A = this chain, B = another copy of it.
Amino acid sequence: MTKKITVALDAMGGDRAPEIVVEGAALARERHLGVHYLFFGIESKIKPLLEKHKELSKVSEIVHTDDVISADVRPSAALRTGRKSSMWLAVESVRDELAGGVVSAGNTGALMASSRYVLGMIPGIMRPAIASFLPTPNGECVMLDLGANAESAVEHLVQFAIMGDAFARTTLGLPEPKIGLLNIGTEETKGTESVRQAYAVLKKMSSNETDFPLNFHGFIEGNDIALGTTDIVVTDGFSGNVALKAIEGTSKLFSALLKQTVQHSIWAKIGFLLAKPAFDKLKERVDPRRYNGAVFLGINGSVVKSHGGTDAFGFSNAIGITADMIHNGFIDRVRDEIERISHLVFSKSV
């Protein structure tokens, strides 16, 4: 009784498209049986790549278009001139229910703009938020917003918490994900007016008085992200983007220093060879490709942005997230939850 799941793929988005898109789908095909693929892009380029993968070909279809949105185009220009592009048509296929969700490794701003335009917002949601997984000692956490908005008011932060909650329930399978609100201290008096007010609203929503209790942990600080103090990290798009990239930069610095360390002496080299299986495990654990796939929450359809520079393995993970969202009826669940609690979020107390 499995329903048919179709994922639309912008085959022309990303640094090494369409190669990594097809290769990524081939990897995803092995892990997610029963998923169908719609490739949008230049058929003469996609077809020969697809023919190398017999199993994938059986569940795939190509929708040809010559148009491609370039990596550096402004969102407004994409809206005006990109209507026949692989990205736009892939997003439209979700609106037209030909696909349950879409993945693109192309221009983030253009993908956000076309998604908002074509699919609209989930009723009641004011602002989209970009969400992604991050590694923690015990697994992973979800952080949002990662940069869809430069500024976020109190009602946006509260909605991010609700969307993050629905997202963690559906994709991580957590029954009561713990929600943290990012701040510069954990006392109620710390931070900006918006975070303090959002704290008050979320605190109220986490009490038993409401019919939609959230598991709200309270304020957390930057170091809590990587420590996995909460399952969900809620923040405005500015500090969320800064924090995400600060974490990425630190990981890179560490990897570079680790490499230097290994090259330090002949003993270090031998030592590293002996410990290689252990280091491979460490590498796998923090592999950024494993966390590839940022979700545009709030959009009325499942839209996932893959990193433009990822490889087939990374792209297959972005497909996996999309397939999970479709499989678990994510959009319907968020829609229901928003409807159920709208009186709480938009009450006069805010």
Query: A residues bordering B, Cβ < 8 Å?
Result: 74, 135-137, 147, 150-151, 182, 184-185, 189-192, 221-227, 235, 237-239, 241-254, 256-258, 260-262, 264-265, 267-268, 270-279, 281-282, 285-286
Given contacts A184-B237, A245-B222, A249-B224, contact A150 B277 (CB under 8 A): no
The answer to whether B245 touches A223, judged by C-beta atoms less than 8 angstroms apart, is: yes
The answer to whether A252 touches B271, judged by C-beta atoms less than 8 angstroms apart, is: no
**Taking the nearest CB of chain B, how far is it from the CB of A168, in angstroms?**
19
The answer to whether B264 touches A184, judged by C-beta atoms less than 8 angstroms apart, is: no
Known: A226-B249, A271-B274. 20 other contacts (CB 8 A): A136-B253, A147-B184, A184-B237, A192-B238, A222-B242, A223-B246, A223-B248, A224-B249, A225-B246, A226-B250, A242-B243, A243-B246, A257-B282, A261-B282, A264-B275, A264-B277, A264-B281, A265-B277, A271-B278, A275-B275
A136: which B residues are within 8 A, CB to CB? 253
A246: which B residues are within 8 A, CB to CB? 222-223, 225-226, 242-243, 246-247, 250
Given contacts A246-B223, A251-B250, contact A238 B191 (CB under 8 A): yes
A151: which B residues are within 8 A, CB to CB? 192
Q: Which of A239, A242, A248 has the most CB of B within 10 A?
A: A242
A-B contact pairs, 23 of them (CB 8 A): A136-B253, A137-B256, A150-B190, A182-B242, A184-B237, A184-B238, A184-B241, A191-B238, A222-B244, A222-B248, A224-B249, A225-B249, A226-B249, A227-B249, A238-B239, A243-B246, A250-B250, A251-B254, A261-B281, A261-B282, A264-B281, A267-B274, A268-B275
A271: which B residues are within 8 A, CB to CB? 270-276, 278
> 10 closest pairs, A vs B, by CB?
A222-B245, A271-B274, A271-B275, A223-B249, A264-B278, A226-B249, A222-B246, A268-B278, A271-B271, A268-B275
The answer to whether B191 touches A253, judged by C-beta atoms less than 8 angstroms apart, is: no
Residue of B nearest to A221 (CB): B245
Q: Which of A74, A151, A238, A248 has the most CB of B within 10 A?
A: A238
The answer to whether B278 touches A262, judged by C-beta atoms less than 8 angstroms apart, is: yes
The answer to whether A242 touches B245, judged by C-beta atoms less than 8 angstroms apart, is: no
Residue of B nearest to A223 (CB): B249
Residue of B nearest to A136 (CB): B253
A278: which B residues are within 8 A, CB to CB? 261-262, 264-265, 267-268, 271
C-alpha gap A281/B257 in the complex (Å):
10
C-alpha gap A225/B135 in the complex (Å):
20
A276: which B residues are within 8 A, CB to CB? 271
Q: Which of A221, A227, A245 has the most CB of B within 10 A?
A: A245
The answer to whether A275 touches B267, judged by C-beta atoms less than 8 angstroms apart, is: yes
A237: which B residues are within 8 A, CB to CB? 184
